[in-house]
Each structure stands twice: as structure tokens, then as C-alpha cells.
Amino acid sequence: MISFEKMTVNTMKTSINKLKPLSFSRNSNQEISIAGFKLKDLVQTYGSPLYILCEETIRARVNEYKDSFQEFYGEYELVYASKALNCKAICKLMEKESVSLDVVSIGELYTALSVNFPMNKVIFHGNNKSPEEIQACLENNVRIILDNFNDLRLIDELNKSKKEVNIIIRVTPGIECHTHEYIKTGKIDSKFGFNLEDVLDLVAKLKKDYPYIKILGLHSHIGSQIFEMAPQRDAALVLLNKYKEIKEQLGIEMTHLNIGGGLGIKYLESDDPPEIADIVNFSAKAVIEACEKFDLKKPILMMEPGRSLVAPAGITVYRIGNIKDIPNLRKYVCVDGGMADNVRPIMYQAQYLAELDAKDPNKDLETVTIAGKYCESGDVLIKDIKMTKADTDDLLVVFSTGAYNYSMASNYNRATKPAMVLVNRTGHNLIVKRESLDDLLRQDLVPSHLS
């Protein structure tokens, strides 16, 4: 086994590791704008709550990854983990930026298909893929992340002609990172992937019994919202050690190495995640050195960022309604959204930064709790935040909401999901319409005996 000695990097790049969108600004009246467009005007046009995405931020972060791979490694594939935020416009934006797509459901794949995203740049994840999903992968020549033997059974049963199928084997490397328990995925006790110790026998079985299956390489994903660089490197080294065994014992040399994603971002000013360039450099250096030590050809290095591409680009704007002050206990500032458009605080105890539009964020500070409007006591977006004194009808901005907010949104309490707007210097475009009340009823049926 290769030793995991300490490695250092020195990228000297300008940081884009910002909590707020790159095009965020305030004028002399403290009015907030994104890409030059005032929040109040966007809300007047599209309503609230409102998801807003800064296109400049997404493109900058994509290019930080691409430039870093080109500088520090060579042949690579940047794959957007679309579960973070999947809609037609985002799929098209990633295509324009020459980024591949990671999908985990027939719905995410269908969205990509609907905008003619190139299927040879899609990979399909999942620990319990349905026959419908495997069939769609086979029909569209999508690369499949082989997660378990049920995947293999379905591939063999549905692939009647036994045409070539490209797979990447997902493994649990036994490496944990310091993140929320629910989003640790690299430990042995995980619903995802094969145990690393079983991989050699699995590859031998595939070679012998499934000659139409082409194994591109191995994949691991150790978690999400990761601030440490060492676990990512260590996972890559564990996989490459297995590549060495596979080459020596089976004569197969893998062409791809997928080290997953999970790089964390700033939700609070105190958060200090690695720079994109640093995590790429750190991982690339480890792979290069291990390949030289093990006499392996340098594989195509795949990375699957999601949150780190889109979360900092997003804000959510709410309008403040009721303000409830309980003397000597708590002051609640209630907004016109909450857990239906952002379930992360109640699900992951996620923390956010928020500011008021058209008010100096450094004056008239008080400690308040930002509460949602839904019928749950736990519907709290931000507990005990120090913020400028709020008034009814003020606009509240919550930052870093580009990932897992829209994608986890629900119709709880029969709420309609917010609209989403993509903003750049030339204009603003609606990319997800606000749901209507009729949309809520569209799938409802009343049996005849109740009519």
C-alpha cells in the first residue's frame, strides 16, 4: 500500500471562494443588485420567494476547475453532479461549458435528453437503479456506475444484443471525512458501492462472464460539504493501489479514475473550504506520483463537483411578514417561504447567512430567528442570527442557496414551488416558472364514488 505522506500545494491563484455571488453589489442606498439588476425589481417581476442564480459565478467556478486540471494534471473529465441543481437551463449551461453530467434518476436523465445533452458525456449513478433506468442507459449509450450485483443482473437481462456497455465500478474505500453523518458515503457502512476487498474478484468475473462489458475504472465518493483535502487524496491512492493489483493479476489497465466530488463551500463567513485549484492540485499530484510508483499509465482523472459549482451562485429572496417579539426570549422574523423551498436547515442542521435589502448590514443589529411560514415548529431557516433590524415588507436575502434548495423543494402544506431566474450582465431569464395553484391539482384525481 502506498504511504499517505503529507503533501502541500502552492497555487497562488486569485480566490473565487466567495460566500456571495461574484456579481453581488450594494449601491449607496444599500440596495442589493445581482449582475446590475436590483433585487426589488426582480421580485416585482417574478414574485417571492425567488431563487436567483448568478451565471457569472457558475461559469467562473467551472473554469477554475478546468484551468486547474489543465495546469496540474492533463487529461481529465469534469462531471457536474446534477442532483445539486437540475433543470433544462443548467444542463444547457454545462453543455456550453463542455462539462459532463452525472445523473441519478430517470428524471434527471430525461431532463438532459430533453435539451439534447450529449449522452456520451453522461454517467448514471444510483444504489437501486430501476429496470427503466438501466434500459434508458443502454438505449442512449450512457456510462453506468456499477453499484451492485442487481445493476449487473439488470444490465445482462436487458442488454439482449450484448452490445458493448461502458461501466465504472463504485467502491467504498473505507475513508471517512468530517461532514454530516447523512452525507458521508465513503465509509464501509454505506448503501453505496462494492467493498474494496471484493473488487479484484468482481473484475475477474466481469472479464470472464461478461465480455461485452468494458470496465473504464473505479469510482469512489467519500461525502459532501468536505473541507479536508487529505481524504480525497487518500481515496484516490486506495483506488490506484487496487489498479496496480488488477493490472498485475488480471492484465487489465484501467483508463479512468473517478474520485467523486463533495468539495465544500462557504455558508458562513467563518467557513474556510479549500480553493478549487488547491483540491485539484492536491489530488492530481497524488495520482501522478502513485502512477509513477505503481508503473501505471495516467488515467483520465474524473471529478464530480456539484455544490461547489452552483451553491455560491444562488440566493433566495423572501419577503418579511409577521414579526413576533417574545420579551427576554426570542424575536421571530417570519418570511413567505421556509422548509418547502429550503429543507436543509431542518434536515441537516444547515446554517446560512442572510441580509436585508436596502438596509446597512452593519447597523442597528439585533439577534433574531428567521422562521418559515409552514405548519411545523421546526420550520426555522436561521436560528439566532445577528442582523439589521427588520420591518414587515422588507426583502431578506439568504446566500449560498444554489445547491439542494430547488432540488429538494416540496409542496408541503400545498405550497407552490418558487420561480428561478438566471441573471447575467446582459439580462435576466426565467428558467423555472413559479408553480400555480392549478399545477398543484394537475395530478389529483377523485374516484367516482366520491363525486
User: Which residues are the active-site residues?
Assistant: 375
Calpha distance 405→344 (Å, rounded): 7
Contact 173, 223 (CB under 8 A): no
C-alpha closest to that of 307 among 60, 81, 55: 81
Q: Is 231 exposed, middle or buried (0-12, 13-18, 19+ CB in 10 A)?
A: buried
C-alpha cell at 356: 436585508
Calpha distance 210→280 (Å, rounded): 35
For every residue of 287-312, which 3-state class applies, written as one string?
Answer: HHHHHHHHCCCCCEEEECCCHHHHHH
Calpha distance 91→82 (Å, rounded): 8
Calpha distance 280→7 (Å, rounded): 13
- DSSP letter assigned to residue 249: H
Calpha distance 95→58 (Å, rounded): 13
Phi first, then psi: give them for residue 61, nearest 5 degrees: -75, -35
Calpha distance 266→400 (Å, rounded): 7
